[in-house]
């Protein structure tokens, strides 16, 4: 048994109901989760909770009663557990789901930045900062994301952020060699913007950040939609070979497969334009010259698949980021083990710059969309980082 007293955790959530992100993640600290073939119970204790919106199905009071923690009316009080000084060892900021307005770029304005700043204010006032886990994107706004990371650096606390996709199982268990030379990369995703394109971009980023000397920042982006996507494919703006490779990893092709169960080469048989009425392509130009593409192909497949071509290797590398069924959402357990590592070690196992990179890519791509799908230069996207040397996805 561990001799140290359990780390104390504050949960700051937008909502807490069944199958909300707060429930997925916080519950694992309360009841444990499977890890490396065992049911693991973190040596940590949720001691306080703040919930921004309590709707029908709210579970916050039930959980507080059963597991013996307080629900506080403000973030500051949650971090201080009702006292006058910071009284927790870590903060989980889980602001996903809930009713929040969309802006003119159709980004859902989750108040992650505002809530993060409320934590920072406590850290500053109390002269002490602790690790924060930010669920999903840092913010819909790249400037806000930059400021959040800047705050963390200034006050010297670690931040772990991001999606579960980079840490879930991969089919196959592909990890690109650290320092590899990537010639081109492509990701296929599905779902709405700006929720699911974010996941897909982060899945791609966790692969390509292992190239060369790491991520070098973004030079420009462009997002296009509709027929222009197929035309871009015909013009060679993205590789058909990589699209085939990514789709070859899908377990969920639609169209003819739904009709009679058949396997299909959806690029070769020309089905894609017929079954994907509203495709979108996100083109990303990295500062080191790498070009990457996210294709959001609603109607084609239902999963998230990646492909890239490495220098001097004629065979594309490809994999599926495996999202097991909901419930029990086992992929969120993979991320919780990373959160535990953050809290235990005081260091984020995954660089927050990964999420900051994607935060900027997505924000600029949606600007491109609203400005008539033009190419947008991104001079302030100078997020430079190296991938961690170890692998952090589920593989043992």
265 binds other proteins (CB under 8 A): yes
17, 23 contact by CB (below 8 A)? yes
169 binds other proteins (CB under 8 A): yes
d(CA 313, CA 6): 49
Q: Is 296 helix (H, G, I), strand (E, B) or coil?
A: strand
Closer residue to other proteins (CB): 67 or 100 = 67
Closer residue to other proteins (CB): 81 or 174 = 174
According to DSSP, the β-strands at 38-40 and 33-35 are antiparallel
- Nearest Cα residue to 105 out of 295, 294, 364, 367: 367
305-334 binders of other proteins (CB under 8 A):
307, 315-318, 322, 324-330, 333
Among 47-55, 106-114, 262-270, 371-379, which window interacts with other proteins (CB under 8 A)? Answer: 262-270
Number of residues that bind other proteins (CB under 8 A): 59
Length of the chain: 396
Residue among 14, 26, 27, 304 that touches other proteins (CB under 8 A): 27
Residue among 158, 189, 253, 351 that touches other proteins (CB under 8 A): 253
Closer residue to other proteins (CB): 3 or 263 = 263
Cα distances from 203 to residues 57, 110, 168, 355, 390, in angstroms, run: 31, 21, 10, 10, 16
Q: x/- string (CB under 8 A) for other proteins, residues 39-68?
A: x-------------------x--x------
CA torsion, ordered 367, 371, 372, 376, to nearest 10 deg: -60
181 binds other proteins (CB under 8 A): no
Name the token pair of 310: 């490495």
- Where are the strands (E) in 157-204, listed by range? 159-162, 170-171, 182-189
Closer residue to other proteins (CB): 113 or 304 = 304
Phi, psi (rounded to 5 degrees) for 377: -80, 145
Q: x/- string (CB under 8 A) for other proteins, residues 330-369?
A: x--x------------------------------------
Sequence-separated (6 or more) residues with CB below 8 Å from residue 126: 80, 85, 86
124 binds other proteins (CB under 8 A): no
Interacting residues with other proteins (CB under 8 A): 18-19, 23-24, 27-28, 31-39, 59, 62, 169, 171-173, 244-245, 247-254, 257-258, 260-265, 267-268, 302, 307, 315-318, 322, 324-330, 333, 394-396
């Amino acid at each position: 048994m561990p001799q140290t007293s359990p780390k104390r955790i504050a949960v700051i959530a937008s909502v807490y109901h069944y199958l909300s992100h707060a429930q997925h993640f916080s519950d694992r600290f309360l009841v444990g989760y499977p890890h490396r073939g065992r049911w693991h119970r973190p040596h940590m204790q949720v001691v306080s909770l703040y919930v921004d919106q309590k709707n029908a199905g709210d579970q916050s009071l039930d959980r507080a009663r059963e597991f013996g923690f307080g629900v506080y009316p403000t973030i500051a009080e949650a971090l201080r557990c009702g006292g006058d000084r910071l009284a927790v060892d870590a903060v989980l900021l889980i602001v996903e789901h809930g009713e929040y307005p969309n802006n003119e770029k159709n980004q859902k304005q989750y108040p992650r930045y505002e809530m993060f700043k409320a934590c920072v204010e406590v850290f500053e006032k109390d002269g002490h900062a602790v690790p924060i886990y930010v669920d999903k994107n840092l913010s819909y706004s790249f400037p806000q994301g930059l400021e959040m990371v800047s705050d963390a650096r200034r006050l010297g606390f670690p931040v772990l952020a991001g999606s579960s996709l980079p840490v879930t199982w991969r089919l196959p268990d592909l990890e690109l060699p650290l320092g590899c030379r990537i010639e081109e990369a492509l990701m296929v995703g599905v779902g709405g913007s700006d929720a699911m394109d974010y996941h897909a971009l982060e899945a791609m980023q966790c692969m390509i950040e292992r190239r060369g000397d790491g991520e070098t920042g973004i030079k420009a982006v462009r997002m296009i939609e509709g027929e222009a996507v197929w035309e871009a494919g015909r013009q060679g703006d993205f590789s058909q070979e990589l699209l085939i490779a990514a789709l070859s990893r899908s377990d969920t092709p639609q169209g003819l497969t739904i009709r009679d169960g058949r396997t299909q080469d959806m690029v070769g048989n020309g089905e894609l334009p017929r079954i994907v009425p509203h495709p979108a392509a996100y083109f990303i130009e990295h500062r080191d010259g790498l070009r990457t593409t996210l294709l959001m192909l609603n109607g084609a497949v239902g999963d998230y698949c990646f492909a890239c071509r490495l220098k001097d290797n004629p065979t594309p590398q490809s994999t599926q980021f495996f999202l097991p069924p909901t419930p029990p959402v086992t992929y969120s357990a993979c991320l919780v083990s990373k959160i535990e590592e953050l809290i235990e070690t005081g260091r984020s196992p995954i660089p927050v710059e990964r999420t900051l990179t994607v935060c900027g890519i997505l924000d600029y791509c949606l600007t491109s969309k609203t400005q008539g799908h033009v190419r947008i230069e991104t001079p302030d996207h100078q997020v430079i980082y190296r991938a961690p040397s170890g692998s952090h996805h589920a593989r043992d």
